[in-house]
Structure 1
Amino acid sequence: MSEHTHHHEPETSKYEQALKKYDLNLSDEAVKEAVAKIIAEKVPENDTTEVKRFLMGSVELTSLSTTDSEESILRFTERVNAFEDTYPDLPHVATICVYPCFAQIVSQSLEVEGVEVACVSGSFPSSQALIEVKVAETALAIKDGATEIDIVMSVGKFLSGDYETLCDEISELKAACGDHKMKVILETGCLKTAANIKKASLLAMYAGADYIKTSTGKLEPAATPEAAYVMCQAIKEYYDETGIQIGFKPAGGMHTVHDALVYYTIVKEVLGEKWLTNQWLRLGTSRLANLLLSEVTGEEVKFF
């Protein structure tokens, strides 16, 4: 190989090379059919109290509102504290998810062992900020007690094909997280095609994501079963290729217990039992916890 050709090796080769190992030629139609089949054939068998109890323990109880205040977030956290006493035999939620400015109040007032404090960071939900600002926000959230960080991939950079900058940003934010888990939100509603969703999933994982997450919940469409299916396929293929297990978090647009059962079933069918723990499957939602609780207890409960 002459020096000249070597010199022109493109910078993006690391991520481009990685993508070459995977089939990115997906048909949206085929994905739709596969998902419809799973929903028709497999969801009913998972419609059990046991599964709903499990899902309760996978909920990331989320408050990401313009009207959030120290008082409202404190009350929110106190509900999680009170839950343990009220329902000692039910699993508590997995996570409380808030803006970074509330990391301190949640981490100082949370009394339940094993509930994570997740913060959305990196100029959520648009991700449109200078990388220095994103890094600072992430580092401050962790300093204030966040144990997990959710960032949004730079969707504009993805759509314009600038994978290198996209991945470098994700890696830099992962470095700011250190040992803390980082979830990368793909905002699948903006990606449109199954092929794009798979490509974005793989890039995020190669760049350092510990979890991939469907959506911010701030744009429509948010999570869809089709997006979840493609993301889970990508997680499976990445695991087969690298041996690294990556978590999955559908978020946004989960309005019913049936919706949650659909996501559970997709994870079970595509990824298998190894992913069916609240370590590897999380549900980002604010309303679902009460609905699950109502079904598990058999009476309408508005606890959270």
Structure 2
Amino acid sequence: METNKIQEALGKYNLDLNDAQVAEETKALLDAHLEENMTPEVKKFLMGSIELTTLKTTDSDRSVMEFTDKVNQFDDAYPDLPHVATICVYPCFAEAVKEALRVPGVEIACVSGSFPSSQARMEVKIAETSLAIADGATEIDIVMPVGKFLEGDYEGVAEDIAEMKNACGDAAMKVILETGDLRDSKDIKIASILSMYAGADYIKTSTGKEKVSATPEAAYIMCRAIKEYYDETGIQIGFKPAGGINTVADAVTYYTIVKEVLGEKWLTNKWLRLGTSRLANLLLSDIEGKEVKFF
């Protein structure tokens, strides 16, 4: 992608962001609207937006199939609650999930492209992604090349993302910005626009592998970028906060930001995803009114 085309695309958006102002606007939004969303209906909705994730060194075919079977059992045990949106695993386990999964409508996502660092030759990233899709992955999560971005190589960033999108084919691609490694609000806004411009179907905050993961401020900036991009192009992009979603209040916080910035059109489990596993039991316990350790 030519540098002048990238600069032309970025020039259509407001990039003059101030960290203090973003923090103030985010706080004001949450102060005004968070409590009104602490309802059973919202919590049930959020249950259906979870990307149930296992990305452990100790994962195996057997453990991943058992993990997947929990989703099958949940659908039987709680027929009145929505099942999770996605099961997210390493690429080598896509086939195991596909073999074990019996619940229709649950997507199979794989982190790919040398997750979580994105530090590999493009040929390796493409091969890993193509194999994951061949094995059953319906969605692919990749990491933006953060090093290139921080050096100002926006052309290289866009080219990498576009190549990965080409490898994904019909599978939806989520681009992880790793917002905790970016320098400021302006960086997050630029990374969001670049990723969408280059072919992202979703933009995602974090891998969960760095010291700083999702934050309300990063989510606010990314949702503002998604809204501006939609207004400019008519293309709807999904949003996925991930990493550090440790409480029900955290989940409702991100729901509130999406609702207030993006609106009702994004309040489906297609366009809003939550990258977490610990949240599933917490939400279920809150909904049931007692401690539940199902997953």
1:154 aligns with 2:165: no
CA RMSD in angstroms comes to 0.8
Measure, in 2, the Cα distance between the counterparts of 1:40 and 1:112: 38
CA distance in 2, matches of 1:190, 1:232: 18
Task: Write the distance in 1 (CA, Å) between the matches of 2:2 and 2:129.
Answer: 27
Q: Does 1:14 align with 2:10?
A: no
Post-superposition shift, 1:20? 0.6
Shift of the alpha carbon at 1:165? Answer: 1.3
Q: 2:114 — aligned with what?
A: 123
Give the whole-Å Cα distance in 2 for the aligned partners of 1:141 and 1:165. 24
| Selected match of 1:33 from 24, 27, 30 | 24
1:170 to 157, 161, 166: 161
For residue 3 of structure 1, what is the aligned residue in structure 2?
A: none
Return structure 1 stretches of 4+ with deviation > 4 angstroms.
none
SS of corresponding position for 2:30? helix
2:242 corresponds to which of 248, 251, 275: 251
Amino acid at match of 1:66: T
Determine helix, strand or coil for the equivalent of 1:146. Answer: coil
Q: Does 1:227 align with 2:218?
A: yes
CA distance in 2, matches of 1:143, 1:64: 20
Match of 1:269 among 250, 253, 260: 260
Give the aligned residue type for 1:34.
Answer: E
2:135 equivalent to 1:144: yes
Q: CA deviation at 1:102?
A: 0.2
Shift of 1:192: 2.5
Helix, strand or coil at the partner of 1:118? strand
Q: Percent identity?
A: 70
Instruction: Name the structure 1 match of 2:81.
Output: 90
SS at match of 2:221: helix
Counterpart of 2:290 in structure 1 is 299
CA offsets, 1:168-218, max 9 Å, x none? 111111111111100000000000200000000000000000000000000
Q: The residue matched to 1:281 in structure 2 has which SS?
A: coil
User: In the TM superposition, what is the alpha-carbon distance from 1:11 to its structure 2 partner?
Assistant: 3.3
| 1:266, distance to aligned residue in structure 2 (A) | 0.3
TM-score scaled by structure 1?
A: 0.96
Residue 229 (structure 2) pairs with residue 238 (structure 1): yes
Q: TM-score, normalised by structure 2?
A: 0.99
* Aligned residue-pair number: 295
Deviation at 1:41, TM superposition (A): 1.4
Look up the SS of the partner of 1:111 in the other structure: coil
Deviation, structure 1 residue 297: 1.1
- Which residue of structure 2 aligns with residue 99 of structure 1? 90
